[in-house]
Amino acid sequence: MTELNIAPQLAVTSAVASAGVSLTEGEDTAPSATIAGNFPNNKIWRATYNDTMVYADLVSGWSLVNDTDTSSEIANGPIAVPVSKIALDYSFSLTNHDVASGTGRFRVVGEPVPEPGSILALVGGGLGIAGFALRRRRS
């Protein structure tokens, strides 16, 4: 699993996940390689955020028709909560002597979520300046 912590948290405005998997026949002369995904619905690749939230399960398992075959999928859609961590994971079973490789991408774009302490400091500073201005005006 590959993880990335995001600090400060992002209020996500867009997210895109994509994955590609190649399957290659190993030692047999007739194509017979099979890859089976271990995620729900026989999916091979998963993108998650905030440790437990699943964004996308992509690329279904398959059997070869030729000596090498590639499959890819893409997902995009909203994430409704602030994001502090994203992760990518592959999980699959493969027939003996065969080879699989993959690439994946999970991209989130958004604006930083202000921390409560920053908001309190901003409000406190604003009130202090307003109080100083009123006091100065009365003098």
| Average pLDDT of the chain, as a whole number | 85
Query: Does residue 95 sit within a domain?
Result: yes
- Among the residue ranges 19-23, 49-53, 127-131, the one predicted with the least confidence is 127-131
CA 103 to chain centre: 13
Counts of helices then strands in the chain (DSSP H, E): 1, 9
Query: Does residue 131 sit within a domain?
Result: no
Query: Does residue 90 sit within a domain?
Result: yes
Query: Does residue 89 sit within a domain?
Result: yes
CA distances from 93 to 33, 44, 76 (A): 11, 9, 26
What pLDDT is recorded for position 116?
57
The model's pLDDT over 82-135, given as tens digits with 9 standing for 90+, comes to: 999 999 999 999 998 899 999 999 998 888 766 555 555 555 666 666 666 666
Query: Does residue 133 sit within a domain?
Result: no
Query: Does residue 124 sit within a domain?
Result: no
Into how many domains does the chain fold?
1
Query: Does residue 48 sit within a domain?
Result: yes
Query: Does residue 22 sit within a domain?
Result: yes
Q: Which band of pLDDT confidence, cut at 50, 70 and 90, is reported for residue 53?
A: very high
Residue predicted with more confidence, 106 or 27:
106
Percentage of the chain exceeding pLDDT 90: 53
**Domain ranges, residue 97:** 2-113
Residue 71: CB atoms within 10 A of its CB come to 17
